[in-house]
Chains A and B, each alone.
Chain A
Amino acid sequence: MAAPLVLGILVAVTVRAVLYRSSLAGFISERVEVASPLNAWKRVVEGLALLDLGVSPYSGDVFHETPLIIYLFHFLIEYSELVFMITDVLTAVALYLAVQDFNKVVFKKQKLLMELDQYASDVAELIRTPMEMHYIPLKVALFYLLNPYTVMSCVAKSTCAINNTVIAFFILTTIKGSTLLSAIFLALATYQSLYPLTLFAPALLYLLQRQFIPVKLKSKGFWLYTTQYAALYLCSLVVIVCLSFFLLNSWDFIPSVYGFILSVPDLTPNIGLFWYFFAEMFEHFSLFFVCVFQINVFFYTIPLAVKLKEHPIFFLFVQLAIISIFKSYPTVGDVALYMAFLPLWSHLYRFLRNIFILSCVLIVCSLLFPVLWHLWIYAGSANSNFYYAITLTFNVGQILLISDYFYAFLRREYYLTHGLYLTRKDGTEAMLVLK
């Protein structure tokens, strides 16, 4: 399996290199869908230039990256294209290894449940076989590498790629089962952009499952492990934040990075939901609505944890998707990350209800983004409502995609335990409805 992966990597790197040298690079790096105020490359260069002039890069509203990015790019700024290509490759490799391991876990669990007779009798066609799961890691890696969103994000040199790499490493270390490394990478991911904090819950659930610790609120083992993991996570976060203090000898980066993410002062249009709302909001309501919008990201964690207790990796996928839909400055790079996981759930295809319309919506919206931007900004014959309509439709499409997969997953689980052909008490065929 290594050879096809290497081939895929080579193809992806070639595509990116070609695009870097073409004239599209300038055009793509200016697109608001790809570069947000948080992760635009222009701002990184500006911040480093400010630093060279002896001014703190966080003065003024230009630079919103963490100090570790400053450190990383201070030495690597001339090789930036290479750095971004390498990060993409690293992400793909990490995802490949993670999914390989995960497949083994899935298969083991399935075998266990079959031996325990947990499955109904007529669900043979729903059981997954190693044959069909063989190519999934490759598909995941290729989905990530060759996704047009990822390619655009890489060509625009948006630091979203670095975020994706950290999250991919976090997923890899979680699936491998290493508590310390998982906590460290989660801390790094949270440090980069605040939202991966919500990935604490699925990672914890997975690690507990791996250690065969049952998730019971009264069990001592559960609390012991949870506190251990949480302590590791918080300590590493504190260490990283303190280390960043020593880079510039100031705490300036905290309001500039985290304050910026949470309070959304910059209302440049992007593919998210925040900008239009806050552009027309009165000052005295904005605090309330900022809180409401931000809560949306964190709010679904607990209910999903309750429902998807047994399936933490699916929970991780849904949580990743929720982060990239509801975060304050999303870009297509975030979308690309959770879309890379879709081959993992390809066995759910027969239960998906709206996949055709959703894929059409997503493709059409992605194509309409630059069109309506041009109409609004350059031609002047449209206005921000048009662009926001496409943003809304795109996000609605994403939400429907996630809920469709959620429905399909739960339905499959139900069929597995209750049998494929459901009958009511009097023998007629029953319909399964998601309430």
Chain B
Amino acid sequence: MAAALPAPRWLPAAAALLWACCGLAATDGIQDQAEQFFRSGHTNNWAVLVCTSRFWFNYRHVANTLSVYRSVKRLGIPDSHIVLMLADDMACNPRNPKPATVFSHKNMELNVYGDDVEVDYRSYEVTVENFLRVLTGRIPPSTPRSKRLLSDDRSNILIYMTGHGGNGFLKFQDSEEITNVELADAFEQMWQKRRYNELLFIIDTCQGASMYERFYSPNIMALASSQVGEDSLSHQPDLGIGVHLMDRYTFYVLEFLEEIHPASQTNMNDLFQVCPRSLCVSTPGHRTDLFHRDPQNVLITDFFGSVRKVEITTQTVALDPNLVGLETRVPSDEMATEPLKYAEQLPVAQIIHQKPKQKDWHPPGGFILGLWALIIMVFFKTYGIKHMKYIF
């Protein structure tokens, strides 16, 4: 009974074909995956986190920003890709009973200040002008790298703003405002300069939804903590520190983000459900009409994390030859001008040996004559003409 069924003649061929197909499929899969590097949305992540209010009683805004900062760092975006703008220093504020800490939970459960906070724009540097310059890239050449948003057209940018706001504006530093029109124009400038691939804008202020009403550039998704006409409320005061520690919306967002890990597949729809009205008192809003992908397919880590999936393969991958390689153009020889040495720029020898100018001012002769004539006239009028003979 051990006689093997004679294999059908087509089996090896089929097997070979199948294997080839599999191999091809596998190669295609690798190819796909490899090309996914170039077809999928972004290659790098940036975050711009802005807290716009100063003074001790706005502790919660700094705590908000630092919570998002912490989550974003934890999920993989490095400090070099985060622009953190804090308008005031709560950790070292003289009114802080626990110096060098910023808590986000009462009973001091979570210190979001930590050991390695890198604030890029601090205190009075957080102005509307600086914020817009960071976004649009129009920054003076002397600005250090840590203060720049060096994004490109494959960057996914997370922009988080918190502070005090109103219908159509956000207040900076208690002295100036940025309007929703300005913000929309800034984003349009970013789009036209190809400074982002996709942009997630989160705002936690009163009437926050008004800030995203005017956006008109593609690939922007926006979330806000409250609708127009509603106030965003703060979460819990800490009696030991004496101020409110967090705003409700960001508190629940932070809670939500604490469960995200770098490989999680949670998508944006879950983020939209964070903080329903029962918890937040205000109605969070979102705007996805400008976004070309379905929020269902957008991962949280697309914006909050900066993870690359790495798979090691022994196969070679043929890259598309149509990808144009950048030819480094050798710059043509410019006229090499010899740099002037410092001392030679000033004609020192000339200056040292310059004689002082001899121009001196003398009172005009007419004046002297007139003055002394008057004096002599008065003298003789007073003392009589009889003294004349003693003079002449």
Contact = CB atoms under 8 A, between A and B. Distances in A.
B339 interface: no
A247 B363 contact: yes
Point out which of B360, B361, B370 has the most chain A C-beta atoms below 10 A from its C-beta. B361
Contacts of A70: 363
A74 B363 contact: yes
Interface stretch (B139-147, B246-254, B274-282, B374-382): B374-382
B378 A53 contact: no
B378 A181 contact: yes
A243 B374 contact: yes
A178 B364 contact: no
Interface string B352-364: 0000010111111
A362 to B, nearest CB: 39
B359 A53 contact: yes
A101 interface: no
B366 interface: yes
Contacts of B362: 74
Nearest to B382: A181
At the interface, is chain A mostly helix, strand, loop or mixed? helix
Contacts of B382: 178, 180-181
B371 interface: yes
A71 B364 contact: no
B342 interface: no
B371 to A, nearest CB: 6
B367 interface: yes
* The 6 A-B residue pairs with the shortest CB-CB distance in the complex, in nearest-first order: A51-B361, A246-B367, A247-B367, A71-B363, A243-B370, A52-B361
A105 interface: no
At the interface, is chain B mostly helix, strand, loop or mixed? helix
A411 B371 CA distance: 47
Given A71-B363, A239-B374, A246-B364, 14 more contacts: A52-B359, A52-B361, A53-B357, A54-B361, A71-B368, A74-B361, A74-B362, A243-B371, A243-B374, A246-B366, A246-B367, A247-B363, A247-B364, A247-B367
Contacts of B371: 71, 243
Interface residues of A, number: 16
A72 to B, nearest CB: 10
A99 interface: no
Interface in A54-97: 54, 70-71, 74
A243 B370 CA distance: 7
A249 interface: yes
Interface residues of B, number: 16
Interface string A236-276: 00010001001101000000000000000000000000000
A52 B360 contact: yes
Contacts of B357: 53
B356 to A, nearest CB: 10
5 contacts: A52-B359, A52-B360, A181-B378, A243-B370, A243-B374
A54 B357 CA distance: 11
A249 B362 CA distance: 13
A52 B357 CA distance: 9
Contacts of A239: 374
B367 A71 contact: yes
A218 to B, nearest CB: 32
A246 B361 contact: no
Given A243-B370, A243-B371, A249 B364 contact: yes
A70 B236 CA distance: 74
Contacts of B381: 180
Nearest to B357: A53
Interface string A352-384: 000000000000000000000000000000000
Interface string A170-200: 0000000010110010000000000000000
A180 B383 CA distance: 12
Contact of A54 (B359, B367, B370, B374): B359
Given A178-B382, A180-B378, A180-B381, A246 B370 contact: yes
Contacts of B366: 246
A126 to B, nearest CB: 38
Contacts of A247: 363-364, 367
Interface string A154-183: 000000000000000000000000101100
Contacts of B368: 71
B68 to A, nearest CB: 39
Point out which of B357, B362, B371 has the most chain A C-beta atoms below 10 A from its C-beta. B371
Nearest to A68: B371
Contacts of B370: 243, 246
A247 B365 CA distance: 9
A81 B80 CA distance: 67
Contacts of A178: 382
A182 to B, nearest CB: 11
A243 B377 CA distance: 15
Nearest to A245: B367
Interface in B241-279: none
Nearest to A178: B382
Point out which of B360, B363, B364, B366 has the most chain A C-beta atoms below 10 A from its C-beta. B363
A184 B363 contact: no
Nearest to A51: B361
B378 A184 contact: yes
A244 to B, nearest CB: 8
Contacts of A54: 359, 361
Contacts of B364: 246-247, 249
A74 B361 CA distance: 9
Nearest to B371: A243
Nearest to A48: B361
Nearest to A53: B359
A74 B362 CA distance: 8
B348 to A, nearest CB: 23
A53 B381 CA distance: 40
A178 B379 CA distance: 12
Nearest to B379: A181
Interface string A41-54: 00000000001111
A14 to B, nearest CB: 32
Interface string A11-55: 000000000000000000000000000000000000000011110
Contacts of B367: 71, 243, 246-247
A239 B371 CA distance: 10
B376 to A, nearest CB: 13
A358 B361 CA distance: 49
Contacts of B378: 180-181, 184
Contacts of A246: 364, 366-367, 370
Nearest to B370: A243
A184 B381 CA distance: 12
